[in-house]
Structure 1
């Protein structure tokens, strides 16, 4: 329903923006739904949410009635009755209504859309990669792309297992370069002079929202030769056999 300005109710309150509004928020972020009301006077603004045939009262005036503490009314002068949703979840997506207590009530629908960023570790061609192989003493280079981000962020973390690498000064030779010049953020991890200790699971993450991962193998010359011979399944068989040789030798020695 639109405003009543210009008719017999020319003293009634009205919404400053009367078109349907769509808000896009990133999963885990704070969503803010604006509702600017002019000439409110003795009327009251409330927020409700429709879920199926059920109507849930979220706020009434300056008071919050939702049992979910993530919802709150954040009034901004001079006339914005803003609904705030913290730590957004997928289930928060849907239609919300800002209402003015006229008779009949005036209603401004606001659609909230929740978007989850996509984090992927890719190869030089941009294809998603699950494993990467490097020779000893080479430089590890892992590229991570982050897309579908409605809100710009730079808080991108690289981890090796549980160990955070972004600010690691103990090992040396570690650097992270992040390019935010396009809609897709690219973060690249460099680790110089790779050793067998650098093998393992690497993750690139955007806070607690989304994570991409890759398994890195550091091979000596003998292991690289085994992997490079043959193709397809035989590569993995040869590689697995090379990794098992030290354990088999130790077992034979014990016998």
Structure 2
């Protein structure tokens, strides 16, 4: 009997202490944990609710539900209210969506394989309580790509400095690292190359990296040599890479000359060459035509010179046609010259 009374007193004191603690917490403005006030399910807020993923990678949305009991967790896509998963089952024909949950874990993770830009939006983690519980998650799918500002072809003079800057402005929160390659060979300033290696400049190269809202890496080559020419690639771990071609020139060419300007100069030179060639052909045609016409006319007037067929061809103009025209004009001129002579002869006969 004494033992029963002692247990009852102990329970009474415990409840009084619990009520006192709750009263103090309320008076101090402290939030009372939901799992103390009830045994209903509640969400854990120690998860990332704004998730950024790169196109083609795998995105994960983690929903934490405590004291789930006999309730179930579902994932809903907000834009079309499509049920993606319920429990561990998938309710969509899109095989990229799948829920992952370890045995007896309180985390229900929505996995999205190969996310695309259209997958960006709000996703809800729901618990089928009464009323329904839900927590919203935002997925941002970005097309992360590295950029080397400036032209893709960079021209520098021998002995000058080469500076290549690689910038990754979008991507997951963990932007990773940036590696530099020349051709297929990774550039490491700490590596000592052999003297006979064409890619030999460990003392002339530096790589500096800055991270913040953007990830930026700068490759600097001092005292450029002709052997430094090549394709330099910027390869981030969490983004698509890019490249630029460096041309080291031994001459008085302006540094950082762009291929576009060189192409424009070449096109202009070709145009001027074609124009001058066309004018030259027209000029030669005129000279040769005049020479042939005079020669044919002289041959008709001088019986010693015999007509000889000419078979010259210049450009796209055939000279036999000119000869025929010249012969016709010469015959007409000869007939006109003979007409007064014939008339005077007739007069003399009379």
Same fold (TM over 0.5): yes
Kindly provide the CA deviation profile for residues 188-236 of structure 1, in whole angstroms up to 9, marking residues without a partner as x.
Answer: 224564326724x4332324733344342221215x1xx48xx999963
Pick the aligned partner of 1:145 from 140, 144, 167: 167
Q: 1:206, 1:25 → 2: CA distance?
A: 15
Q: Is the partner of 1:145 in helix, strand or coil?
A: strand
Q: 2:226, 2:259 → 1: CA distance?
A: 26
Which protein has the bigger helix share? 2
Which residue number in structure 2 is paired with residue 105 of structure 1?
132
Q: Is the partner of 1:91 in helix, strand or coil?
A: helix
Change (3 A) 1:25 1:232: closer
Is residue 136–residue 196 contact of structure 1 (8 Å, CA) maintained in 2? no
Is residue 151–residue 258 contact of structure 2 (8 Å, CA) maintained in 1? no
Larger-gyration structure (1/2): 2
Which residue number in structure 2 is paired with residue 253 of structure 1?
none
Change (3 A) 1:164 1:73: farther
Any unmatched runs of 5+ in structure 1? 123-127, 245-255
Which residue number in structure 1 is paired with residue 101 of structure 2?
75
Q: Is the partner of 2:63 in helix, strand or coil?
A: coil
Structural mapping, 1:187-226, within 5 Å: 187-191=217-221, 193-195=224-226, 198-199=229-230, 201-207=231-237, 209-222=239-252, 224=253
Which residue number in structure 1 is paired with residue 186 of structure 2?
165
Per the TM alignment, residue 109 of structure 1 is displaced from its structure 2 partner at its CA by 2.2
Structural mapping, 1:110-149, within 5 Å: 110-117=137-144, 119-122=146-149, 128-149=150-171
Change (3 A) 1:235 1:111: closer
TM-score by length of 1: 0.66
Give the paired residue count: 221
Is residue 144–residue 187 contact of structure 1 (8 Å, CA) maintained in 2? yes
Q: 1:143, 1:102 → 2: CA distance?
A: 54
Any unmatched runs of 5+ in structure 2? 1-33, 271-350
Is residue 47–residue 83 contact of structure 1 (8 Å, CA) maintained in 2? yes
Q: 1:32, 1:234 → 2: CA distance?
A: 44
Per the TM alignment, residue 41 of structure 1 is displaced from its structure 2 partner at its CA by 0.7
Change (3 A) 1:80 1:195: same
Q: Which has the higher contact order (CA 8 A, sep 6+)?
A: 1
TM-score by length of 2: 0.50
